[in-house]
Amino acid sequence: MKIGIYGQFYHKNSGIYIQQLLETLDKNGVEVVIEKNFLELINLHDEIDKTYSHFSTFEELDTSYDLFFSIGGDGTILKTITYVRDLGIPIAGINTGRLGFLATIQKEEIKDTIALILDKKFYISSRSLVTVETLPATEEFGVLNFAMNEIAVSRRNTTSMITVHTTLNNEFLTSYWADGLIVSTPTGSTGYSLSCGGPVMMPDAESMVLTPIAPHNLNVRPLVIPDNQEIKLQVSGREDTYLISLDSRIHTLPNEATVVIKKAPFKINMVVLQDESFLKTLRKKMLWGEDKRN
């Protein structure tokens, strides 16, 4: 078995859990390849007896990997997908961060959890993504023109609202007068969109949701649409440019640029333990039903 490992930060008190992970994988004869910068962080804080191979870019990965461990929080998983992309390698998130809605494996349970994963006692939750391009075409996003949570446009360098003219499959929907607009996947429905009043969607829902950010049009509401719709956004405002974010990656676009958003041609495979589920995560992470009257 061949496993890749990625992490962004070396969290305080997480060293012992990283050691447990590496030792468990080593005892089971697993070939481990660690992202170069994260490997340097590990070596900086801990003495590792074994020398590990490393990777730095997507081009150094291939379909020979059986699994990919993401060590951190949900933001680390969103960064991990920029390495995995369309290779279909299942991603298992080990939570050393805070909420851990995507990174559901708790660091305190690494030994038992890794044993279950190596015994293939898990299932795959395939997550849809969205892609973005601009008209006229630019090289602004490069190959990283996709997002697993959401794509959002928002105002830049101003306290004034922007107007987001929106069409679905070339039919005019409305003009949002707001701080911005979020186009969320089902996975992202529990993130930025939710904090702006959007609905929670099941991960396998074949939908997207348009959620305005602090709209001044008081009668607009989040809108759930089929994920086969092509969304076009044209922004106008007092500034000549606006911001567009793809998960945590932020770019600046001129007002003349029309944004085209649609479902990506590939999915990300997330590892889910057999005794876990999206509904269980909702209850545990969002405290659904945590009312003493129940």
Tell me the pLDDT tens digit for each residue of 16-34: 888 889 999 999 999 999 9
Domain ranges of the chain: 2-120, 129-265
Least confident range from 40-49, 70-79, 121-130: namely 40-49
| pLDDT given at position 32 | 95
Q: Is pLDDT above 80 for 289?
A: no
The response to whether 61 counts as a known ligand-binding position is: no
The response to whether 74 counts as a known ligand-binding position is: yes
The response to whether 282 counts as a known ligand-binding position is: no
The response to whether 247 counts as a known ligand-binding position is: no
Cα–chain center distance at 206: 17
Average pLDDT over residues 136-163: 93
pLDDT tier for residue 12 given thresholds of 50, 70 and 90: low
Average pLDDT over residues 201-226: 96
Share above pLDDT 70 across residues of the chain, in percent, rounded to a whole number: 97
Average pLDDT over residues 184-188: 97
The residue annotated as part of the active site, out of 74, 204, 240, 275, is 74
The response to whether 193 counts as a known ligand-binding position is: yes
pLDDT tier for residue 203 given thresholds of 50, 70 and 90: very high
The pLDDT mean for the chain works out to 92
The response to whether 75 counts as a known ligand-binding position is: yes
How does DSSP classify residue 25?
H
Q: Are 130 and 147 in contact (CB under 8 A)?
A: yes
Q: Which residues pair with 35 in a beta bridge?
A: 55
Residue 103 CA to residue 97 CA, distance in Å, equals: 9
pLDDT tier for residue 106 given thresholds of 50, 70 and 90: confident
How does DSSP classify residue 118?
H
Residues in the chain, total: 294
The response to whether 192 counts as a known ligand-binding position is: yes
Helices (H), the chain: 15-27, 36-45, 74-84, 110-118, 192-195, 278-285
| pLDDT given at position 47 | 62
Least confident range from 35-49, 50-64, 171-185, 217-231: namely 35-49
By three-state DSSP, how is residue 172 classified? strand
pLDDT tier for residue 154 given thresholds of 50, 70 and 90: very high
Q: Which residues pair with 5 in a beta bridge?
A: 34, 69
Q: Is pLDDT above 90 for 208?
A: yes
Least confident range from 75-79, 214-218, 224-228, 285-289: namely 285-289
| pLDDT given at position 294 | 65
Would the CATH topology of 2-120 be identical to that of 129-265? no
Side chain identity, residue 69: F
The response to whether 191 counts as a known ligand-binding position is: yes
Q: Are 86 and 268 in contact (CB under 8 A)?
A: no
Catalytic residue check, 74 = yes
Q: Is pLDDT above 80 for 13?
A: no
pLDDT tier for residue 77 given thresholds of 50, 70 and 90: very high
Average pLDDT over residues 132-145: 92
CATH topology of domain 129-265: Tumour Suppressor Smad4 (2.60.200)
User: CATH classification of 2-120 is 3.40.50.10330, yes or no?
Assistant: yes
Average pLDDT over residues 170-185: 97
Q: Is pLDDT above 80 for 46?
A: no
